[in-house]
Structure 1
């Protein structure tokens, strides 16, 4: 991989745990419930979709990509009657901030340094064609250090995610097929299918379509061609994610990795591994 692509991959492994506390940390989930968004998926869909405004299921299904349309429609637009987008955004900020204050206690210097490096990258990232990244980038940058860190991490992870969706579309995959392919490579089906709302019939049909392309064997495991296709998708994602990191020189990248590493490890204690995001456990 080119250096910027390698940087994009390495830093995603460190940024994603910081962002993901909003889904998994108890304090973050409690904030959504206090806003009237009871149940994990109401908080998830309202919190992640809120930067887009009071949207319905169509745009969210398109932007989130891997979720079954019926699952999205069970949450949207109904969640906006429980908490309008502004309220959901405030609950997201307060919950993520409370979670990070708890998880990163004792890492104040690293939080300040990492936020100081990440915020300019997130602010200047080119978001053309990246709807979720652009919607989050347009939000005001918070003043509190942990909030700034979470905001920047979120813009950059959604930037990467938008590029990943583009790679999947270019490869001719639909939302269920990409999950079935990943299950055939390295993640348990139980971490993917139920958490994205696909029925057994839809999953089996997706596997048949992938088998017709020569990417899955009859038992659902990836063939050599399927593994090559998966690697190509990941490499395309890294290429699409690389551009913002070219603004940092090697010294700044090394410094950012050094400051983020203990933060990512601390945040990872609130996550589970394996997980539907495909995030690997931090080394060490």
Structure 2
């Protein structure tokens, strides 16, 4: 088979199994204590600074542009003040230390040092390096792609998962813009199509007030994309479901170049190797789902 036979669905499966390896660094207990030692005073600083540090000491407007779904006021509560407290380089070092400590604790030394993790790391690195050939229009990915690769296999795997996550995320922002969705509207439409997810957590963690959220529901309702249930919660209409399916399809297609490098067998093997890791990481790396 040729790399062209890799389907968007297969690439999405591979990415989904890799995702918990990356997202662990946001929610592991090691993160809060590590960033607090750096002097990061708030939860917002502890999220925005580690994720945008690869871009340098950028301002709130740049962070808002690349993160997309966050209320600009929440971003301004942390950026650029955070750079008066700590350098991006120090934050990046701390973030990698968090990844190292959290993966060792969650997976165990035997798994971290296993041949399976080493093999998965090399496959994921190949995909991430291929993504680097398609960097244009992907600013957050580009910033991370310019960082030095770690040496230990479990950290290579984590860094590759981070790159592939931001590569996909930048493409998703492009799809949201093409769909004419504002940041808060993107979150509402996501929540409306995902029963069981915490709408309150999505709204509050992204910094939107109830009034701003309800206004977005009203705009989407006028577009025929959402309705509300008996409790007043947004639910997707048939047209809304079609839009969300199109968004995911566009995102999958834009992420595909990274995974084509591996071919069907390489993707299947990477998903097979990382599936047990994702299962072990479990809920610790998977908070209520959200856009971006």
Q: TM-score, normalised by structure 2?
A: 0.91
Tell whether the 8 Å contact from 1:29 to 1:95 is kept in structure 2 after alignment. Answer: no
- State the partner residue of 1:191: 201
Residue segments in structure 1 that go unaligned for 5+ positions in a row: 279-284
1:4 corresponds, among 2, 7, 12, to 7
* Deviations 1:115-170, CA, capped at 9 Å, x for gaps: 11111211221211101111101100111122111111000000000000000000
Q: Tell me the distance in 2 between the aligned counterparts of 1:127 and 1:37.
A: 30
- Out of 252, 256, 267, which is 1:238 matched to? 252
Instruction: Provide the alpha-carbon RMSD of the alignment.
Output: 1.5
Q: CA deviation at 1:103?
A: 1.4
Q: Give the CA deviation at 1:269.
A: 4.0
SS at match of 2:53: helix
Q: Name 1:73's counterpart in structure 2.
A: 76
Residue 157 (str. 1) matches residue 157 (str. 2): no
Instruction: Say which is worse superposed, 268-277 or 177-186, in terms of deviation.
Output: 268-277
**Which residue of structure 2 lines up, in the alignment, with residue 87 of structure 1?**
90
Paired residue for 1:175?
Answer: 183
Alpha-carbon separation, structure 2, partners of 1:73 and 1:273: 24
- Show the 5 A alignment for 1:31-110: 31-105=34-108, 106-107=110-111, 108-110=114-116
1:145 to 145, 153, 164: 153
Contact 2:171 2:254 in 1 (8 A): yes
Per-residue CA deviation, residues 14-35 of structure 1 (Å, 9 max, x unaligned), is 1111100110011233222222
Question: Where does 1:192-271 land on structure 2 (aligned, <5 Å)?
Answer: 192-218=202-228, 219=232, 220-271=234-285
- 1:260 Cα deviation from its structure 2 partner: 0.7
Following superposition, the deviation at residue 272 of structure 1 comes to 4.3
Please tell me whether the aligned partners of residues 39 and 85 of structure 2 are also in contact (alpha carbons under 8 angstroms): yes
Which runs of at least 4 in structure 1 moved beyond 6 Å after TM superposition?
none
TM-score by length of structure 1 reads 0.93
Partner Cα separation in structure 1 for residue 8 and residue 215 of structure 2? 34
List runs of 5+ in structure 2 lacking aligned partners. none
Higher relative contact order (CA 8 A, sep 6+): 2
Question: Equivalent residue for 1:121?
Answer: 127
Q: How far has the Cα of 1:111 moved from its partner?
A: 1.5
* Secondary structure of 2:7's aligned partner: helix
CA offset at residue 109 of structure 1?
2.2
1:178 positional shift: 0.7
Which deviates more from structure 2 when the two are superposed, residues 65-74 or residues 37-46?
Answer: 37-46
Give the number of aligned pairs: 277
TM-superposed CA distance for 1:59, in Å, is 0.7
Distance (Å, rounded) in 2 between the aligned partners of 1:184 and 1:200: 15
For 1:273 and 1:143, the matched residues in 2 are separated by: 29
Alpha-carbon distance, 1:80 to partner = 1.0
